[in-house]
Structure 1
Amino acid sequence: MKHLLNLLAAIALLVWGMHLVRTGVLRVFGANLRAWLARSLGNRFTAALSGIGVTALVQSSTATALMTASFVGQGLISLPAALAVMRGADIGTALMAVLLSFDLSWLSPMFIFVGVVLFITRQASTAGRVGRIFIGLGLMLLALERIVQASDPMLASPVTAVVLEALGKDLLAEILIGAVLAIISYSSLAVVLLIAAMAASQVVPVDMALGLVLGANVGNGLAAVLTLAGADTEVKQVTVGNLLFKLLGVAVMAPFVGLWLRLVQPHMPGVGHGVVLFHLAYNVIISVGFIGLTQWVARLIARLLPKPARLPGQRPHHLDPSALSTPSLAMSLAVREALTQADVVENMLTGVMEVIRRNDESLAMRLREMDDEVDSLYSAIKYYLTKIPRDDLGEKESRRWADIISFTINMEQIGDIIERIVQDVEEKKISKGVEFSEAGMAEISDLHARLVNNLRLSMGVFLDGTVRDAQRLLEEKGHFRALERTYAANHLARLAERATQSMETSSLHIDLLSDLRRINSLISATAYPILEQAGALPSGRERAVGHEGGLPKV
């Protein structure tokens, strides 16, 4: 039992080391890797090469699959190009397995020591994240050494002999076991290295090791499918297409396992090297040999998983789960989604004027539905941001995190105010058959036009964060407040003159001016974090975020 626990602990250490390397690389280089991958998708051959490079660094073809699938989901690349990337990703994983199969245990103490020093002394910086990568590499090498040590006593155990005899020569059972191991560990690389180490220690015979390797490749594809089972159809098409390639590869390679054992394995420098080179040969054959089938497989997958027709108002989401391990990248995606939310708010703001002018009740109903979409986007963005590892955020990233939350809250509140305006217009204007006076309507239209322009300026400030635009937005807030007070006074003057239309719409008119002022205050709030960070935030009343001036007293 002790030897089994030692082996399980060594396997867990190997998986944890790979996790540290993968998350460390993504947090340091994630945005650059993603950009490089996106630039290399011009044709399927460069796409495959980029898949090799990215996966060799990340040490996880599943992580590459998640990034590539997100590109397809956002409509940035085609499905055949994504499948070509995955052909290269499998080769990248196999190459890393070959490299790590050599005896590099002497590097383990150095990697762990340097990594811990960097991580402790510079934890919040890039150097600290590089230290995390070194720690992961050191733990992986240490784990491989421990696996070999823990496997030796198990070889002499009679239980081992019974288990191996029960499995016999059942290749299908070996493939199934390898697949299960890959799904549980979430890493075919870890499983292949484990199998190679156990084969080198003669815990498993070579023929069984090769069957387990085939299963590990299938399990890797299944893990990606299960991970993204709830994703959009475009994303699932990538993982299912990749799994189909792996199944085709197993069907092609399984009959040649015996040929490999007779002709190739005797010339290998060691049993473990033979296992990882078989893994490499499998992936090279299915990647190079099948890359011409990407178009055919893409068409087949498109028929098996057709894209659903998009309903009106539906929008593609930018929130990519695979980017969560790279905080800067995840927040840039959250910014894009926040701007999508702001676009919906702008459409609502534009539409509300049409409801006021034309008494359009069908448009009023659509605006209320759009408010539900704004609320849904706010919830999705908020939930996404809460899943970003806050411990890895620097000071600048923490501020940006708070700015995104604040912006989306303000957009959600603006949507609620617009919905309330629509309800007021329906109850106080459309149902009663009254109209604003010509002068009152002109004033409301002027405020509304300024409001739309301020919202667009606010979106630019949120995206680019320039101090000049933030100052301009705050200046516009002052102009808007002064203008709103003037128009409120004009309305009161019309009431004093007993103007019939002004008297009939007075309650709605006053409420509408107040609501437009509140919306403008929420829009202007985008400027405060930028100006505060630059030390250019005015003092006094202008500094009060969301301050609203009152209507003149009657």
Structure 2
Amino acid sequence: MSVLLNLLSGVALLIWGTNLVQVGILRVYGANLRKILAVSVTNRFTAFLAGVGVTGLVQSSNATAVIVSSFVARGLIALTPALAIMLGANVGTAVMVQVFALDLSWLSPFLIFIGVILHLSRKGSRVGHVGRVLTGLGLITLALELISVASRPVVEAAGVKVLFASLTGDIMLDMLIGALFTLLCYSSLAVVLFCGTLASAGVVSIPVALGLVLGANLGSGVSALMSTAGSNQPGKRVALGNLLSRVIGCAVALPVVHLAAGWLSQLDWPAHHVVVGFHLLFNIVLAVLLIGFTGQVAHLCERLLPGNSSNDAQVSQRHLDPAALSTPALALSNAAREVLRIGDRVEQMLVNLLQILKTDDARLVGITRRMDDEIDTLYTDIKLYLTRLSHEELDDKDSRRWTEIITLTINLEHAGDIIDRMLQDIKDKKIAHHLKFADAGMAELTEMHGRLIANLRLGLSVFLTEDQRSAQRLMEEKMSFRELERRLELNHLARIASQTPDSIETSSLHLDLIGDMKRLNSLFCTMAYPALDESAGNAAAAPEPSAPANITSS
């Protein structure tokens, strides 16, 4: 019984160490990691590399899956590059298994000693969080050593040998058992290393150990899907696509497990290294095979999980975790995620606005105006959440981010109020009197509306990535939008002068809509100021080049 408890405590310590590393990394680099994932989607290969790097830091492909799913759920990342990120995340996890398969027992006491000192002496600071990471890494190496020691009497027991002896010959059964172990341990790393221990002790043959490793990969995909169960349909598709890729990989690998075992055995490696090497090889080959087919996998996921946002009807906040308030960087990241939900609702209100202008759908007016109530609710939640943050614990960077988030929240809430008033005017002045815009006027409003939505999306992207080039482009769009407003007003006045009946009847509403869109665009363009201010500050702080010394000849 004590042996079993030692083994279970080792697994628990491994999970706890992984959690410490994950939390510490996210609190120190959380915003930057999310920025890396958000801006790495220019092509599948950069997305893949970002997945490898981020997962190597946070020590968990499940954590990467949760982050990527949240981006896809808000429409910030398309599903295809998100699946490429997850392929990289799986390779990143396999690489870390290779690292921890080495004999790092000498490193564990040093990491724990230094990490605890840093964490306790600088608690709550960036240095303190680094100490948390070092402590977690030390606990992981210590846990792996404890598991290795505790598993020796287990694997040498006659009953255990008989139990595992029954696994020989049926790779499918081995795979299912490996998946079950992974779900129970919530760590594919622990299961893969344990399989290596079993193979080294001769308890199971190499083919059986490789079957268990395939099951660990499958179980990890199921675990990631369970972690994103609370997301909306687009968010769930990321984990579903990741699981489908694992299923495809296992289906392809099953017939060749015995061949792979024979080939790896010829390398004259220890059994332990053969098992973890197969785990890495499986994920690399899977990534190579599927990196070009992520689009097809994404299409399949969309067919299996149709719909856009199954949870959009839920008005309550999702990301404002009170437990994160003690860590300002993490709390600010949570608040930023919630602000983006407000941005999504503002965009949906604008999309509905154009449809109402074209169809006079009074029912849609009521539905859209209720979205402003949702925005008000989220605005209040974010405002109260941010006021609970202790400003004494905020450094200069966090203070600036706090200001950016609260400013954007206020501006988006104001934008919702403006759109709500626009809808009421359309209902009272157009729908109630069965009026319509002139064809040219409707085309101009549609053009302005399209530019407005594009600037909102660009502004939210600038808020998320703080990309200075995009911020500069947003400011250029602000000037261009002003010129568009003047041109459309002059065109409308020209139609009135030419006695166009529809333009005369809707003149007041038409000019009001143009003015309101300009005000909305100004609110959206304010998202560029923080990035531009930071750029100006960096330029001012840069040392000026020294002037060349005067050289005089005698």
TM-score (norm: length of structure 2)? 0.63
* Deviations, residues 195-226 of structure 1 (Å, cap 9, x unaligned): 22343344444332211111111111111111
What is the deviation of 1:396?
A: 8.8
What is the deviation of 1:165?
A: 3.1
The residue correspondences of 1:79-228 to structure 2 (distance < 5 A) are 79-228=79-228
What is the deviation of 1:296?
A: 1.0
The residue correspondences of 1:380-391 to structure 2 (distance < 5 A) are 381=382
Question: Partners of 1:387 and 1:69 in 2: how far apart?
Answer: 27
* Deviations, residues 39-90 of structure 1 (Å, cap 9, x unaligned): 2211111111111111111111111112222221222221111111111111
Paired letter, 1:88: G
Partner of 1:24: 24
SS in 2 for 1:105: coil
Q: Tell me: CA distance 1:251–1:342, structure 2 relative to 1, closer, same or farther (3 Å).
A: closer
Whether the 8 Å CA contact 1:124–1:394 is kept in 2: the answer is: no
Question: Partners of 1:339 and 1:235 in 2: how far apart?
Answer: 15
Question: Partners of 1:127 and 1:373 in 2: how far apart?
Answer: 39
Q: Tell me: CA distance 1:407–1:367, structure 2 relative to 1, closer, same or farther (3 Å).
A: same
Question: Partners of 2:96 and 2:159 in 1: how far apart?
Answer: 33
In terms of Rg, which structure is larger? Answer: 1
What is the deviation of 1:299?
A: 1.2
What is the deviation of 1:385?
A: 7.8
Question: Partners of 1:389 and 1:97 in 2: how far apart?
Answer: 39
The residue correspondences of 1:135-534 to structure 2 (distance < 5 A) are 135-308=135-308, 319=319, 327-335=328-336, 337-338=338-339, 369-370=370-371, 372-374=373-375, 376-377=377-378, 381=382
* Deviations, residues 8-53 of structure 1 (Å, cap 9, x unaligned): 1111111111111111111111211221222221111111111111
Paired letter, 1:373: E
Q: Tell me: CA distance 1:204–1:342, structure 2 relative to 1, closer, same or farther (3 Å).
A: closer
SS in 1 for 2:123: coil
* Deviations, residues 468-496 of structure 1 (Å, cap 9, x unaligned): xxxxxxxxxxxxxxxxxxxxxxxxxxxxx
Whether the 8 Å CA contact 1:60–1:189 is kept in 2: the answer is: no
Question: Partners of 1:114 and 1:181 in 2: how far apart?
Answer: 33
Deviates more, 1:241-250 or 1:75-84: 75-84
Paired letter, 2:34: R
Partner of 1:435: none
CA RMSD of aligned residues (A): 4.7
Q: Tell me: CA distance 1:283–1:364, structure 2 relative to 1, closer, same or farther (3 Å).
A: closer
What is the deviation of 1:126?
A: 1.0
Over the matched positions of the two proteins, sequence identity in percent amounts to 48
Q: Tell me: CA distance 1:386–1:12, structure 2 relative to 1, closer, same or farther (3 Å).
A: farther
SS in 1 for 2:106: helix
Whether the 8 Å CA contact 1:37–1:51 is kept in 2: the answer is: yes
What is the deviation of 1:170?
A: 2.6
Q: Tell me: CA distance 1:23–1:204, structure 2 relative to 1, closer, same or farther (3 Å).
A: farther
Q: Tell me: CA distance 1:34–1:401, structure 2 relative to 1, closer, same or farther (3 Å).
A: closer
Question: Partners of 1:215 and 1:82 in 2: how far apart?
Answer: 23
Q: Tell me: CA distance 1:394–1:186, structure 2 relative to 1, closer, same or farther (3 Å).
A: farther
Unaligned runs of 5+ in 1: 349-360, 420-462, 464-554
Partner of 1:474: none
Question: Partners of 2:376 and 2:204 in 1: how far apart?
Answer: 56
SS in 2 for 1:102: coil
* Deviations, residues 103-137 of structure 1 (Å, cap 9, x unaligned): 11111111111111111111121111111111111
SS in 1 for 2:41: coil
* Deviations, residues 162-184 of structure 1 (Å, cap 9, x unaligned): 31233343322221222122223
What is the deviation of 1:92?
A: 0.9
Paired letter, 2:84: A
Q: Tell me: CA distance 1:150–1:333, structure 2 relative to 1, closer, same or farther (3 Å).
A: closer
Partner of 1:51: 51
The residue correspondences of 1:530-549 to structure 2 (distance < 5 A) are none
Question: Partners of 2:88 and 2:195 in 1: how far apart?
Answer: 22
SS in 1 for 2:191: helix
Question: Partners of 2:166 and 2:299 in 1: how far apart?
Answer: 42
Paired letter, 1:81: P
Question: Partners of 1:339 and 1:196 in 2: how far apart?
Answer: 44
Whether the 8 Å CA contact 1:152–1:203 is kept in 2: the answer is: no
Question: Partners of 1:96 and 1:244 in 2: how far apart?
Answer: 23
Partner of 2:68: 68
Question: Partners of 1:401 and 1:113 in 2: how far apart?
Answer: 34
Paired letter, 1:103: D
Deviates more, 1:28-37 or 1:199-208: 199-208
Whether the 8 Å CA contact 1:148–1:201 is kept in 2: the answer is: no
What is the deviation of 1:151?
A: 1.6
Question: Partners of 2:390 and 2:85 in 1: how far apart?
Answer: 28
What is the deviation of 1:97?
A: 0.7
TM-score (norm: length of structure 1)? 0.63
Paired letter, 1:84: A
Whether the 8 Å CA contact 2:111–2:134 is kept in 1: the answer is: yes
Paired letter, 1:78: A
Whether the 8 Å CA contact 1:112–1:138 is kept in 2: the answer is: yes
Whether the 8 Å CA contact 1:73–1:316 is kept in 2: the answer is: no
Question: Partners of 1:261 and 1:340 in 2: how far apart?
Answer: 49
Question: Partners of 1:150 and 1:123 in 2: how far apart?
Answer: 34
Paired letter, 2:63: A
Q: Tell me: CA distance 1:250–1:329, structure 2 relative to 1, closer, same or farther (3 Å).
A: same
Question: Partners of 2:76 and 2:332 in 1: how far apart?
Answer: 19
SS in 2 for 1:167: coil
Q: Tell me: CA distance 1:69–1:320, structure 2 relative to 1, closer, same or farther (3 Å).
A: farther
SS in 2 for 1:123: coil
What is the deviation of 1:364?
A: 9.9
Paired letter, 1:131: G
Whether the 8 Å CA contact 2:233–2:309 is kept in 1: the answer is: no
Whether the 8 Å CA contact 1:324–1:387 is kept in 2: the answer is: no
What is the deviation of 1:253?
A: 0.9
